[in-house]
Structure 1
């Protein structure tokens, strides 16, 4: 029994802000050229006053359920990955349950920053494999615009808001999630973190990042997780049809594509239009590839991410 991905959905707030508009709005000493050169980002979507993590997540979930031909009543478990929940508690997942009209099953949040979706996918897959659930809704949703220090030009230009979701269903056969591989190393917690906020330490609740330090760890840790996933399934890099990476920085994405020997048309890139949407970035990119017909039956798709913690991981899925 495997967890087959049978539907995808994504939602981006309608407000689009270009690099130049961002610099003007927040009086930043930066430019479109400077941002594009260092990150590949040219625009991002920002949440409106009435948007919350739960409303973005619910809209992405509705689209994923429609794609899968599944109703909310058929979902046994809802796993929501986010670093920007509606509140400290209850879990934002239960608010999404209510918005979807889902009265069957249960839901909970996962906090693993930008790696959150891979963590959530792993948990949902384990529940399906164990027989605890037959249908799962896995969501990544973020409203990073609420935790960004808009005076810090090094970090504020990198992030955007959005949500993505997939529906998993228990199926026998070759397709489905082959394996997931999760890691963390708390010794590097301070190079990418949010100060206090809703946590026990108090503080302002704003994001702080040592960008060069994060970049230094990114490619080596991601490459290690990718090789671990391939080795666990007796596969090689040549077997991968499509790479769906976390959309943090075009330099990291390009480096991973080169390591896998994949041409650019087999690497999904949305960072230029979405910026870094943290836990939402992989399901948003996966949804785009799904809708564009870039994923065909039998394709081996590789997902990988790294985020605050540090956390990192990879997942292999056969479609």
Structure 2
């Protein structure tokens, strides 16, 4: 008791407590100083476009064939948005499926995290998902932009909101439509990408039921040159040369900007992923006090089957413990992990209590891993 009393009187603890009380008073946040708070995944869902594009279909527009693509990537087909399809509608369908499995009503959702790099509104798509779900309590909804690492970072963000902010039900959605930013004449990139959405419901629980054991997150802006879709100025001859208020000659109005197609140095990205992903998973396992032999399933971002196999070999994980649906959908960016997870759960492969090592990696460059338990 004396040791505890002295600990509670230390300046650091008092400062921490005062900061939390100020936040709670000024911002009226549902803050909890509960170190035993946990979170777990209790529902999942996914949705894909109807249009399927096979390797043979691509061979009609670029110099390639099914054998060439499959040997290098593991991909056979991908789904692409077309007609009246939208990314938002896919995300809403995936979210509804996750809520249905979790037996949670939209009005009980406290937060919606839309992990995407291809929103259908420059200011974010998450609020539109909240609207379409019919959440009457106006829960906070915002986008997370981290490309192929986005979903894992969404899980980490959900855990932080639950453990530090008192949120109860957080909907994490991974959805991307990279087909809209692909140069369909470039066989080095157009063979890789597809569109999809996946979602999970993360719920608060007692600490002894915690289902997110550890995580590891990183980024390296120096690698942006290897994988990007940068802004570019559109060409126009309608600008006038004016003099600004400081007397300098300026061209005005400014030209509009748009995003370029995806630019990727495949060899460098392949080398990057094979190095950092197993290292990150090993760090997460160490933080969780686990080893690779404790993992029931390895679930990586579905970018390239050779990357998945290489990481599994580094971690000494057998093929039977790998979750992969890359052949059917290609690289769906932030959607790839929740899409594969949903299929594995609904098919009965992943069972309650199974431990999963998940990792995302890609543009930014960013990479993140998490050790989690299904239900």
Matched, 1:3 2:39: yes
Structure 1 residue 254, shift from structure 2 partner: 0.6
Bigger CA radius of gyration:
2
User: Residues 184-195 of structure 1 correspond to what in structure 2 (within 5 A)?
Assistant: 184-195=219-230
Q: Give distance in 2, aligned partners of 1:245 and 1:204.
A: 27
**Alpha-carbon contact 2:69-2:76 (below 8 Å) kept:** yes
Matched, 1:294 2:353: no
For 2:20, the equivalent position in structure 1 comes to: none
CA RMSD of aligned residues (A): 1.6
Which of 263, 268, 273 is the matching residue for 2:318? Answer: 263
For 2:128, the equivalent position in structure 1 comes to: 95
Q: TM-score, normalised by structure 2?
A: 0.82
For 2:56, the equivalent position in structure 1 comes to: 20
SS of the aligned residue for 1:183 comes to strand
List 4+ stretches of structure 1 deviating above 2 A. 200-205
Q: Give distance in 2, aligned partners of 1:3 and 1:274.
A: 30
* 5+ long unaligned stretches in structure 1: none
**Alpha-carbon contact 1:270-1:285 (below 8 Å) kept:** yes
Matched, 1:65 2:99: yes
Q: TM-score, normalised by structure 1?
A: 0.96
Q: In terms of mean alpha carbon deviation, does 125-134 or 27-36 score higher? A: 125-134
Matched residues, number: 316
**Alpha-carbon contact 1:174-1:318 (below 8 Å) kept:** no
SS of the aligned residue for 1:141 comes to strand
* 5+ long unaligned stretches in structure 2: 1-36, 234-254
Q: Give distance in 2, aligned partners of 1:270 and 1:197.
A: 34
Q: Give distance in 1, aligned partners of 2:328 and 2:59.
A: 16
User: Residues 237-252 of structure 1 correspond to what in structure 2 (within 5 A)?
Assistant: 237-252=292-307
Structure 1 residue 23, shift from structure 2 partner: 2.1
SS of the aligned residue for 1:303 comes to strand
**Alpha-carbon contact 2:359-2:370 (below 8 Å) kept:** yes
Structure 1 residue 22, shift from structure 2 partner: 1.9
Q: Give distance in 1, aligned partners of 2:341 and 2:57.
A: 28
For 1:309, the equivalent position in structure 2 comes to: 364
Q: What do the CA deviations read for 1:258-305 (whole angstroms, capped 9, x no partner)?
A: 122222121001110010000000000110111111222322111101
For 1:35, the equivalent position in structure 2 comes to: 69
Q: What do the CA deviations read for 1:89-141 (whole angstroms, capped 9, x no partner)?
A: 1x200011111111321110001110010111111110011133110000000
SS of the aligned residue for 1:84 comes to coil
Matched, 1:236 2:272: no
User: Residues 92-171 of structure 1 correspond to what in structure 2 (within 5 A)?
Assistant: 92-104=125-137, 105-171=139-205
**Alpha-carbon contact 1:175-1:298 (below 8 Å) kept:** no
**Alpha-carbon contact 2:40-2:209 (below 8 Å) kept:** no
